[in-house]
């Protein structure tokens, strides 16, 4: 069913009952709030977990409509042909949807994962299965939507993320995970891109939301470059497809470690000398660079001093209103250097790009693998350089380098 404020039918007579939210499935007592309403003359308990989509409480019913299924004769066009590895993965994905089981697509960054799903989506929609393509990240949702809309010309696709709602039928939807709170037992195919991205691993309840939105015999397709044991369990042992090669066939760049205490210099409002050397070399080679920081404060302190030396430089973070504009400037070649937090670890592609990570010891390996995946994404610049600046080695750094080496040997690192 789909819950919708203003729909005619009552789906549940109360939103919250017996310490359970009937909309999002939340049962964690810390995520409910109770107050006495003198106006209603009663205690009201409501769910904090799904409050962003409107209040589900112990007083008011939840309205909605039952799930509809309708086949649609859709097709897609690709600008290029899938390579053999992609074709195999696409066949496995189609097979999982036909046989109604889960599947994990364990793929290097830049493997062309989105295109691999097209055949499965076409089959699902032609057979009346409801499809959701979801991601924890808004940037990824937007990017995927554009690529699907471009390939499936003329097909109506729902798009939902915080503040945006363009819905036709809930039969073919691209959205963030949080938007699934209103869907129960509805989607027959759920494709999750970037399963490892914040906040999915941190919020186990969100995984419950996905399972709740899935129909009883749904296929859940998990796509990731850094699988966890929970994801492997959800997919099932024999349902893991590995793509160790990028679609252009080149190796992934292996990061170089630079032993350097950048923080010490930044604290003194100085540019870390080894950073300056690297950046100068990159500029001389006419390449661009993304410099990643573990937190906004550190990035801002360096930005304040480094701006005087390099004019074609900007910095971005999640709350930055100019964020999309600055990323576009980088794409258009108006900038050489972009300072960023982990916000740009996924979803962005620039040509002739190198990457530097400041205080790499403060990053998780899931982040580092994505960051390393920013370089060499285009066939005309298939390699690129990565420098991890750190003062000591961590399991995150070791794991990252090991995973990349394994991929390059053509083996998976599971």
Partner 1 sequence: MRCLNCHNVINEEPTLISLFTKNEPLCFTCRTALNFKYPGARCGRCHQLVTEQTDMCRDCRVLYALYPDINKMYTVTDYNEEMKLLMHRYKFVRDYALSEVLALLCTFNFKQYDYVVPVPVSEARLKERTYNQTSAVLEALDVKYMDMLGTKKVKRQSELSRHERLNSTNPFYLLENVSSMNLSGKSVLITDDIYTTGITIHQAANVIKVLNFQNIDVLTFSKAQHI
Of 42-50, 73-81, 97-105, 278-286: span binding partner 1 (CB under 8 A): 42-50
Question: Which of Zn ion, partner 1, none has residue 48 at its interface (CB below 5 to 8 Å by kind)?
Answer: partner 1
Residue 178 as a binder of Zn ion (CB under 5 A): the answer is: no
For partner 1, the binding residues in 245-284 under the rule CB under 8 A are none
Q: How far is the CB of 127 from partner 1 (least distance, A)?
A: 38
**Nearer Cβ to partner 1, position 39 or 80?**
39
Of 48-56, 131-139, 261-269, 355-363: span binding partner 1 (CB under 8 A): 48-56
Question: In what side-by-side order are the strands of the sheet with 103-107?
Answer: 164-166, 158-161, 172-176, 131-135, 187-193, 214-224, 103-107, 240-243
Among all chains, which residue has been given the structure tokens 């995927």? 144
State phi, psi for 71 to the nearest 5 degrees. -80, 155
Q: How far is the CB of 46 from Zn ion (least distance, A)?
A: 8
CB-side exposure of 349: number of CA atoms within 13 Å? Answer: 13
Written as six digits, the tokens of 84 are: 């053999």
Helices (H), 129-186: 138-151
Q: How far is the CB of 346 from partner 1 (least distance, A)?
A: 21
Residue 55 as a binder of partner 1 (CB under 8 A): the answer is: yes
* Kind and range of the H or E run holding 262: helix 262-267
Residue 51 as a binder of partner 1 (CB under 8 A): the answer is: yes
Question: Which of partner 1, Zn ion, none has residue 54 at its interface (CB below 5 to 8 Å by kind)?
Answer: partner 1
**Nearer Cβ to partner 1, position 37 or 383?**
37
For partner 1, the binding residues in 21-40 under the rule CB under 8 A are 30-31, 33, 35, 37-40
How many residues touch partner 1 (CB under 8 A)? 18
DSSP output for 37-75: ETTTTEEEEEESTTGGG---BSSSPEEEE----------
Residue 80 as a binder of partner 1 (CB under 8 A): the answer is: no
**Nearer Cβ to partner 1, position 200 or 278?**
200
Q: What angle do CA 53, 175, 15 make, to 5 degrees?
A: 30
Written as six digits, the tokens of 17 are: 């009952």
**Nearer Cβ to Zn ion, position 182 or 352?**
182
Among all chains, which residue has been given the structure tokens 């995520």? 31
Among all chains, which residue has been given the structure tokens 């205080």? 359
Long-range contacts (CB closer than 8 Å, 24 or more residues apart) made by 198-205: 198/136, 198/137, 198/342, 199/136, 200/136, 201/228, 201/366, 205/24, 205/25, 205/26, 205/28, 205/31, 205/49
For partner 1, the binding residues in 318-337 under the rule CB under 8 A are 319
Among all chains, which residue has been given the structure tokens 């982990």? 342
How many residues touch Zn ion (CB under 5 A)? 8
Q: What angle do CA 75, 102, 76 make, to 5 degrees?
A: 10
Do 47 and 56 touch, CB atoms closer than 8 A? yes
Q: Other C-beta atoms within 10 Å of 164: how many?
A: 14
DSSP conformational letter for 10:
E
Question: Which of partner 1, Zn ion, none has residue 270 at its interface (CB below 5 to 8 Å by kind)?
Answer: none
Per-residue contact flags (x/-) with Zn ion for residues 16 to 55, judged by CB under 5 A: -----x-xx-x--------------------x-xx-----
Per-residue contact flags (x/-) with Zn ion for residues 53 to 72, judged by CB under 5 A: ---x----------------
Question: Which of partner 1, Zn ion, none has residue 138 at its interface (CB below 5 to 8 Å by kind)?
Answer: none
Residue 49 as a binder of partner 1 (CB under 8 A): the answer is: yes
3-state DSSP call for residue 125?
helix
Of 45-53, 61-69, 93-101, 372-380: span binding partner 1 (CB under 8 A): 45-53
Per-residue contact flags (x/-) with partner 1 for residues 213 to 252, judged by CB under 8 A: ----------------------------------------
User: Which residues contact partner 1 by CB under 8 A?
Assistant: 30-31, 33, 35, 37-40, 44, 46, 48-49, 51-52, 54-55, 57, 319
User: Which residues contact Zn ion by CB under 5 A?
Assistant: 21, 23-24, 26, 47, 49-50, 56
């Amino acid at each position: 069913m789909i819950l919708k404020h203003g729909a005619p039918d009552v789906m549940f007579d109360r939103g919250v009952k017996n310490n359970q939210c009937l909309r999002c499935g939340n049962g964690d007592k810390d995520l409910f709030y109770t107050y006495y309403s003198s106006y209603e003359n009663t205690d009201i308990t409501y769910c904090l977990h799904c409050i962003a989509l409107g209040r589900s409480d112990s007083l008011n019913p939840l309205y909605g409509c039952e799930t509809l299924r309708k086949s649609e004769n859709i097709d897609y066009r690709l600008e290029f042909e899938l390579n053999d590895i992609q074709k195999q993965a696409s066949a496995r994905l189609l097979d999982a949807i036909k046989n109604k089981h889960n599947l994990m697509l364990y793929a290097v960054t830049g493997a062309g994962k989105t295109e691999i799903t097209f055949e499965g989506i076409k089959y699902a929609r032609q057979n009346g299965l409801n499809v959701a393509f979801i991601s924890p990240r808004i940037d990824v949702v937007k990017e995927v939507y554009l690529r699907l809309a471009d390939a499936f010309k003329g097909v109506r696709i729902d798009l939902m993320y915080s503040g945006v709602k363009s819905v036709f039928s809930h039969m073919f939807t691209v959205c963030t995970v949080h938007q699934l709170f209103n869907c129960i037992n509805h989607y027959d195919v759920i494709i999750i891109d970037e399963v490892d991205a914040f906040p999915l691993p941190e919020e186990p309840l969100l995984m419950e939301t996905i399972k709740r939105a899935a129909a009883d015999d749904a296929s859940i397709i998990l796509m990731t470059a850094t699988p966890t044991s929970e994801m492997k369990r959800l997919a099932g042992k024999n349902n893991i497809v590995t793509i160790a090669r990028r679609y252009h066939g080149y190796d992934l760049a292996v990061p170089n470690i630079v032993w350097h205490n950048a923080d010490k210099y930044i604290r003194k409002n100085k540019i870390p000398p080894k950073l300056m050397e690297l950046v100068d070399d990159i500029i001389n080679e006419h390449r661009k660079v993304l410099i990643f920081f573990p937190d906004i404060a550190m990035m801002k302190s360096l930005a304040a001093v480094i701006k005087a030396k390099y004019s074609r430089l900007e910095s971005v973070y999640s709350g930055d209103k100019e964020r999309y504009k600055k990323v576009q400037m980088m794409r258009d070649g108006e900038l050489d250097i972009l300072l960023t937090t982990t916000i740009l670890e996924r979803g962005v592609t620039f040509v002739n790009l190198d990457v530097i990570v400041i205080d790499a010891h403060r990053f998780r390996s899931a982040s580092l693998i994505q960051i390393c995946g920013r370089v060499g994404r285009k066939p005309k610049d298939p390699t690129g350089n990565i420098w991890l600046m750190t003062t000591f080695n961590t399991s995150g750094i070791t794991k990252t380098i090991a995973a990349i080496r394994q991929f390059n040997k053509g083996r998976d690192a599971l």
